[in-house]
Structure 1
Amino acid sequence: MTPAPIRVLLVDDHPVVRRGIRAWLQRNPSIEVVGEAADGIEALDLCRTLHPDVVLTDLDMPRMDGLALTEAIRRELPDVKVLILSMHANTDYILRILQAGAQGYVSKEADPGMLVQAVEAVSRGESFFSADVARVVLNQLVLAEQAPSPQTPELTPRERQVLIGIAEGLTNKEIADRLGVSIRTVETHREHLMQKLGIHTVAGLTRYAVARGLVSPDRPPGQQP
């Protein structure tokens, strides 16, 4: 039994580019181009109605670019795979697109035959990168492994107590009363906390305390740990 063709939606703001890609892809019987869009907004609307298997999209487009489109598809239509086809092959672009949820990234300078391989791979749930893009990603991963991992600042027991009080919404006076110290002492610990953690807002300190499990996100203000 012949498998159903892979349904592809093309997204690029240049009609000539879309026609060329469509002509190339449809030479392969395993692929069917079910629609075309000139920007991310139009593409998202078509995704909702056509339910393609793969969205092949450029990055630079008016109204909604490829990055925003990828993020929107991941939120609304997680079964739809996104394959990026772009001139950009620098680390920032590639990592941002991967973080947005794209399954593959092919440079427009790659061999056209690679497009078919890429579409087939991502439709199977695999990742696919053209050679030049893969080198950029690999180099970035190597650099990340070689870089020293940032150490979590070590807080003193008193700094932890002050941090917990801040995260619970207590004032400096309330924290001082709880700990049996002066307000000035609490202020000093607060300043040290901000300098150590590089966090200079109450909201930021609260998020840090919650992330480290020092307080529960739903703890009533002022409740003792």
Structure 2
Amino acid sequence: MKKSPAPPIRLMLVDDHPIVREGIKSAFVSKKHIKIVGEAATGEEAVRKAARLKPHIILMDINMPGMSGLEASRRIGKLVPESRILALTMHENREYIIEMSRLGARGYVFKDSSPAELLKAIETVYRGEFFFSPRASQHLLRAFLQDEPAHKEKTSVHLTAREREILTLVVEGLKNLEIAARLGVTERTVETYRHRLMHKVNVRTVAGLIKFAIAEGITEV
């Protein structure tokens, strides 16, 4: 019996420039596993459409007339928590990157990225992982490290041997599937451990895990 194809990734585009939205649609027109289900030119419109369409991924610009992408992300996070926000912006501003991360964005990509990188970001976030472009990741890491006094004592959080092992591989930049293959477990098991780690050390991002690992001496900068 022929296996049914997987359902497409439902994508919504949020940007006040029509040429940007058209460019993204053109780049993905041949990608059968990507389905653009809606567009919005303002933050207000994005919130309304996200609540109605419930897309898997929302590509979110930051600076727009009226409600910003930051505020739209905050509201969507409360209204449609199952939709994952992926920032797509021209702004390489540390404050924006940190704030989008704090608001729950699963990734941050710049508009000068290649279509291949943007596609990879969408697919990665859809799988439940995080995708911050290398430049965005550097900003996040520097911000976390500057906020962390070098002499701070280690925390009292206890990690099991398996949790420390997975944390080390996450810090090395391995994806869930790669970690699963390395450890001989399922990808779902790795994802469960990652969520458990984030909950245990009280962080919401991979950058937060890296900060914790450095503070605990599990890895070095």
Which TM-score band (shorter chain)?
0.5 to 0.7
Any gaps of 5 or more consecutive residues in structure 1? 150-225
1:137 pairs with 2:149: no
Which residue number corresponds to residue 16 of structure 1? 19
The residue aligned with 1:92 is: 95
SS of the counterpart of 2:96?
Answer: helix
Paired residues of 1:25 and 1:115 also in contact (CA < 8 A) = no
2:35 counterpart SS class: strand
Runs (5+) with no aligned partner, structure 2? 153-221
What code does the residue aligned with 1:81 have? R
* Identity over aligned pairs, percent: 40
- Which residue identity is paired with 2:7? A
Tell me, in whole angstroms, the C-alpha distance in 2 between the residues paired with 1:118 and 1:73: 20
Q: Deviations over 1:97-147 (max 9, x none)?
A: 111111110011222211111111111211101111111112222323345
Aligned-residue RMSD, C-alpha: 1.6
Match of 1:133, SS state, is helix
Larger radius of gyration: 1
Q: Check the 8 A contact 1:85/1:107 in 2, yes or no.
A: yes
Contact kept? 2:51, 2:76, Cα under 8 Å: no
| Partner Cα distance (2:104, 2:148) in 1 | 22
Report the TM-score, using the length of structure 1 for normalisation.
Answer: 0.63
Take 1:83 and 1:44, find their aligned partners in 2: how far apart are those partners? 15
Residues of 2 paired with 1:9 and 1:148: CA distance? 45
Q: Which structure 2 residues correspond to residues 105-124 of structure 1 after superposition, within 5 A? A: 105-124=108-127
- Aligned residue in 2 for 1:54: 57
Partner of 1:197: none
TM-score (norm 2): 0.64
Q: Secondary structure at the match of 2:147?
A: helix
The answer to whether the 8 A contact 1:82-1:104 is kept is yes
The one of 126, 129, 147 equivalent to 1:126 is 129
Matched residue pairs, number? Answer: 150
